[in-house]
Structures are given as C-alpha cells and as structure tokens.
C-alpha cells in the first residue's frame, strides 16, 4: 500500500537548506499546478519526481555556467588584443618621437658649429678697423644688429632663438648685459631679459662669453646685488656677493674659483658657522677626554670669550680682532697669563674645527703669546714654618702643611688622597695614576713626622675614606680662610683693601670705608717651591726631585726659581773661603804693594 503524501509539508533531502517544504513549494518543485494530482502520489513517487527535478536543474546550471565562461573568455581575449594593439601603437609613436629628437639634436649641433664659426668671424672682423663691422654683421645668418645705438665702437648682437625665429629689436642687449633697447631707441631698465633667448655681448669685436668652468655672474630678480654661480665636482653653488659693483663681483668669483683649484674651498655653508658652534665642539672634546680643566674652560668661554666672539662668524675672526680682545682684557686688569689661557682655548677651537670632516674653518688666525711674569717667588723659611704650626694646631692642617713642605705636592692632589693610598707598614704614600695633574702616579717614603701624624689621623678610618678630614669627620675641601688666618697670625700674610691697597686689621678698611678685602702673603703653592729648594739643598739630584714633586719637564721645574738669596750668599762664602790663601799668579811683593797703595789712598 502506498504511503500517502503529507498534505502540509514534506522533507526534501536533496535541497541544500535541508528544510521542510510546504504545499506551494511542493507544487513548484514538481512543476504542477493541481494539488489534486499531488495528493494521488505516494511518498516514493514524489521523491523520485523531486530527484529528477534536481538532476534537470543541475544539468541546466552547468550549461549556463559553461556558456557564461565561454562568453567571459571571449571578452577578455578581445580586450587584451585591443590593449596590445594600443601599446604597439604607442611604442611606434615613441620611436618616431625619438627619431625626431635625434634629428633636432643633430640640427642644434650644426647650428652650434655655425655659431662658433660666426664668433670666430666676429673676432677676426673686429680687428679690421677699416671695415664697417655692423654692415658685415647684418649679413651673417642668425644674427641681428641694433641700428638704434651710436657707432662708438660698441656693437649689439643677438642670436635667433633655437626655433629659428629672429629676435625683436627691443630684445637686443647693450654691452653690459644690463639694459635692453626698445624699437624707439630708448633703454629699458629690466635687469634680466628673457632667458629663452640665447644672447651674446660683443664690444669692439671681442667675444665676451665666459669659457666653460669659469662660472658666471648675474643679477637675480628682486636683488640689487650681484650673484655668482660656479661648480665644484659637478655640484652648482650660488651665492650673493653682497655688492653692486660688477668688478668686485668678478673678483669674488675669481677668488672662489681659485679656492676650488687650490683645494681650499669649504663652501658658503661653512662660512656661516659661528664661533659659539666651535665652542660647543671644544667643550664636547674636553668632556669626551675627561679633562680636569673643563670647569675652567667653561668659565673662560662664558665670562670672557663668548661676550666678545660668540656672535661672530668663524671666518670673521682675524688677528686684528684678537689684538683688540687682548687690549680690552688688559684694560680690565687681567694678567697676561690669564689672557694667554683664554687665547689658548680659542686657538684650540679653531684647530679642532680645521681637523673635522668636512672642514669648518679653512685657516687659523695668528694668536699672540704674551710675555708672562708669573715666576713663583714665595718661600716658607724654617722660623715661619714653626710659627705657622703654632698658629693652627689642628691635626689635619699640620699634616697638610708637612706634606706640602716635604714633597711639594699640589693642593688638589693632597685633598683627594684616600686612606687606601697610605701603607703604614711599608711607610709609603702613593698617588694613583690619573689622580694627579699630569696623570702620572707617584710613590714616596714617609718621614718620621709624617708617619706619626698620618697614624693619628687614619685611626678608625676605612680604605675609601679621605685622609684629610676635620674633627667632625667631614673631608677638607676649601681651607682658604683657615690658611689666611694662620698666615696672618704667623706674620707671613696680611689682608689689604681692594681699593687703596692699605693693610687692614679687622673686616673693614677705615679710610675708604670698604669691606672689599683681599689676601697678600704666602700661599699654599709656595710650599711646592720650598720643597724643591730643601731637596736640592740636601743634595738630591734634580731628576729625582722632578719625580717626587711631579714635574714632567725641566723647563717647568726651572720656572720655580728655587735658588734663594741665602743660597747665593752661601755660594759666595764658599767661593771666598776657597780663594783665601791663593794669589792666582801674583807674587807676595806685588800683593803687598797693592795693599800699601790702597792704604795710602
């Protein structure tokens, strides 16, 4: 018995949606309009009918797809054939244009040769004074001659443009290439004529064109100054000459060309570098190399050099300007040694700039070397040394004084000394390399006095602690007031007024009512000279003295003038005692006669 077809819905397993079909959908699927026909079908027959319907639709779909694919393939084939034909046509057009350009280049070359031939003819004809130059020039091909200017030996010629069209008379130029001539004979003040025309200025038959490689001068629109253009290694340079004089502009161009020829050219950009940029490079070099004098260099630039040179270009600094700076600093009361150190900073800036790549300066000005009268003169005698120890009995001050007087070490070297640099067992003192002024290390043996003071001062300290510390344990940094007070009490120093230079007792100068006081007397650096003198008196070789005190060269060592007046007196006494009892070739009778004559007189 056939199973009846559902009257409401039926499951269609062949559909992609896998849903249930309603009556109307079943009718559409089966392709019938009478639902009574559907009601007579069994489920199996309806399924077969649906399957055949799906197969028919699938076959029709493939047929439509193949037809569409064939149509699209044909369209694409036709499209690319059209594109290929258009590209080939464009290629043929470009080939024809290249051929036209080559023919035009050949014509221009022929035209250039003809112009060169005419120029040589101009030079030859110009030397014939008996020939009418203007009349013959009118017969030349591609040349127009002005008839509006008086015939005073100057002729105005203008070539036709590259297209062959002749120039109008008002486009003709005079012999300075600065004004144009109108048809009525009047001049036009336009500075630069149309650049689309080739022009040449000839005076008395002389060719005024510049040869290749010699640059050019011109007047730029909106500028009254002459400009120059030149080449270096194929790169063009344009710059203003800052002058309205054509002759000076030509000299400027010659100078630039000479710099390029001799290899001294640095370019307009480098000439705009200012001195403050050189100062930045100079201070950076000090920081990179870890120079201890960096704060001094910064102060010299900020306080003295920058106000005078900071806003100037580096090329503007000359020897005359440096001399004016020296004069102004001397009028301000600066010592020659101070001025020399400032000029040394400025000189270093220029030398660094000259070594850079690319160059920032081409030349270095001449910097004078002023005569310095800074030879050390102070000594600490034995009696003054005893009074100085009594005036300040603090332990750190006594050790500092003893170290300076014995070894001649500098103040900064002593204040930076650490406990690890002292070996009490070996009784040695050591300054590590890099901690001294010349970065050389030193090692000496302690005297008995220094050993006792050092033992007391190092009690309870760690290796990284400073040797010279006050009673509260703080490191000694600045002891100028302590030094001044001790020297004044010892009678080897005094405070004077900064205005009247009178000695002052107290904190204020009574005559001029000024509290601007300054110290005069023994300074700590005088102990360095005292140590050198004492070592020399003890018979120590000068080479050993230089090693102990840290003098690297003998020339610096001799600046300390370690020979005192007492040394000279002692030397004369030794000479006198040596000469006693020696006649040096004179007989006793001659010596007696000399003494009698001296007594008679």
What tokens were used for 384? 């003054």
- Enumerate the H helices of 332-429 as residue ranges: 336-355, 382-391, 395-407, 411-415
pTM confidence score: 0.48
Per-domain boundaries in the chain:
10-108, 126-258, 275-355, 384-565
Intrachain domains 275-355 and 384-565 with the same fold: no
pLDDT digits (tens, 9 = 90+) for 148-173: 444 444 444 444 444 444 444 333 33
Which has more pLDDT, 53 or 207?
Answer: 53
Residue 543: the pLDDT is 87
Q: What is the largest distance, in Å, between two alpha-carbon atoms of the chain?
A: 189
* Phi, psi torsion values for 366, nearest 5 degrees: -80, 125
Under a CB-based contact definition with an 8 Å cutoff, are residues 169 and 144 in contact? yes
CA–CA gap between residue 467 and residue 446 (Å, rounded): 14
pLDDT, mean of residues 226-232: 83
How confident is the model over 436-490, as pLDDT tens digits? 888 888 999 999 999 999 999 999 899 999 999 998 889 999 899 999 999 999 9
| Closest C-alpha among 177, 204, 197, 199 to residue 188 | 177
Residue 306 has pLDDT above 90, yes or no: yes
Query: Given CA atoms 267, 273, 279, 284 in this order, what sign does their dihedral have?
Result: negative
In tens, the pLDDT along 354-380 reads 888 777 887 888 899 898 876 666 788
How many residues appear in the chain?
601
Q: What is the distance, to the nearest Å, from the Cα of residue 23 to the centroid of all Cα atoms in its chain?
A: 94
Binned at pLDDT 50, 70 and 90, residue 245 comes out as confident
Calpha distance 106→124 (Å, rounded): 27
CB 323 within 8 A of CB 352: no
Do residues 240 and 227 lie in contact, with contact meaning Cβ atoms separated by under 8 Å?
A: yes
Q: What rounded mean pLDDT belongs to the chain?
A: 75
Alpha-carbon distance of 360 to 176, in angstroms, equals 37
Residue burial 413-434, b: 16+ Cβ < 10 Å; e: rest: bbbbbbbebbeeeeeebbbeee
Among 154-168, 249-263, 373-387, 553-567, the least confident range: 154-168
Give exposure, 324-334, as e/b (b: 16+ Cβ within 10 Å). ebbeebeeeee
Q: Where are the alpha helices (DSSP H) in 430-490?
A: 448-457, 480-490
Distance of CA 427 to the CA centre of its chain: 51
Enumerate the β-bridge partners of residue 20. Answer: 11
Question: Given 1.10.540.10, 3.90.950.20, 1.10.150.130, 2.20.28.120, which CATH number is that of 275-355?
Answer: 1.10.150.130
Look at the block and give the residue holding tokens 């005094």. 494
Model confidence at 141, pLDDT cuts 50, 70, 90, reads: low
* CATH H superfamily, domain 384-565: Intergrase catalytic core (1.10.443.10)
Residue 4 has pLDDT above 90, yes or no: no
Residue in 161, 228, 174 with CA at minimum distance from that of residue 201? 174
For tokens 């161009």, the residue is 253
């Amino acid at each position: 018995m056939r199973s009846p077809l559902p009257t409401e819905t039926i499951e269609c397993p062949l559909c992609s949606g896998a849903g249930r079909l309603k009556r109307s959908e079943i009718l559409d699927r089966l392709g019938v309009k009478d639902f009574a026909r559907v009601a007579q079908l069994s489920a199996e027959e309806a399924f077969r009918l649906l399957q055949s319907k799906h197969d028919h639709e699938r076959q029709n779909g493939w047929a439509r797809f193949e037809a569409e694919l064939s149509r699209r393939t044909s369209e694409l084939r036709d499209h690319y054939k059209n594109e290929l034909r258009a590209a080939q046509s464009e290629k043929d057009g470009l080939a024809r244009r290249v051929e036209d350009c080559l023919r035009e280049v050949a014509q221009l070359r022929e035209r250039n040769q003809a112009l060169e031939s005419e120029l040589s003819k101009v030079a030859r004809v110009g030397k014939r004074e008996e020939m009418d130059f203007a009349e013959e020039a009118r017969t030349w091909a591609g040349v127009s001659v002005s008839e509006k200017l008086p015939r005073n030996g100057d002729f105005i010629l203008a070539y036709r443009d590259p297209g062959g069209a002749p120039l109008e008379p008002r486009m003709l130029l005079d012999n300075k290439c600065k004004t144009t001539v109108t048809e009525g004979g009047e001049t036009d003040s336009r500075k630069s004529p149309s650049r689309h025309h080739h022009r040449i200025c000839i005076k008395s038959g002389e060719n005024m064109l510049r040869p290749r490689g010699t640059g050019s001068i011109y007047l730029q629109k909106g500028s009254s100054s002459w400009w120059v253009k030149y080449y270096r290694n194929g790169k063009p340079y344009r710059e203003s000459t800052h002058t309205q004089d054509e002759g000076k502009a030509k000299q400027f161009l010659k100078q630039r060309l000479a710099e390029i020829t001799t290899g001294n050219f640095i370019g307009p950009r480098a000439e705009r570098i200012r001195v403050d940029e050189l100062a930045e490079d100079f201070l950076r070099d000090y920081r990179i190399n870890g120079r201890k004098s960096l704060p001094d260099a910064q102060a010299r630039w900020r306080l003295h050099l920058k106000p005078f040179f900071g806003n100037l270009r580096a090329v503007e600094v000359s020897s005359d300007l440096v001399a004016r700076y020296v004069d102004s600093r001397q009028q301000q009361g600066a010592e020659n040694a101070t001025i020399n150190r400032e000029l040394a900073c400025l000189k270093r800036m220029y030398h660094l700039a000259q070594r850079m790549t690319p160059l920032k300066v081409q030349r270095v000005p001449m910097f004078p070397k002023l005569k310095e009268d800074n030879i050390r003169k102070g000594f600490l005698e034995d009696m003054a040394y005893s009074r100085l120890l009594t005036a300040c009995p603090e332990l750190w001050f006594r050790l500092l004084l003893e170290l300076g007087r014995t070894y001649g070490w500098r103040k900064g070297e002593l204040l930076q000394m650490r406990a690890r640099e002292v070996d009490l067992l070996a009784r040695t003192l050591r300054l590590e390399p890099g901690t001294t002024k010349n970065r050389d290390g030193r090692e000496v043996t302690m005297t008995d006095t220094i050993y006792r003071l050092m033992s007391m001062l190092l009690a309870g300290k760690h290796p990284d602690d400073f040797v010279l510390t006050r009673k509260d344990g703080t490191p000694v940094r600045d002891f100028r007031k302590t030094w001044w007070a001790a020297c004044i009490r010892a009678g080897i120093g005094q405070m004077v007024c900064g205005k009247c230079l009178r000695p002052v007792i107290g904190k204020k100068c009574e005559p001029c009512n000024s509290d601007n006081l300054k110290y005069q007397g023994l300074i700590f650096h005088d102990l360095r000279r005292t140590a050198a003198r004492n070592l020399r008196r003890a018979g120590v070789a000068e080479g050993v003295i230089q090693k102990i005190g840290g003098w690297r060269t003998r020339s610096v060592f001799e600046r300390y003038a370690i020979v005192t007046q007492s040394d000279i007196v002692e030397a004369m006494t030794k000479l006198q005692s040596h000469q006693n009892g020696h006649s040096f070739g004179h007989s006793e009778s001659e010596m007696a006669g000399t003494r009698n004559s001296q007594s008679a007189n």
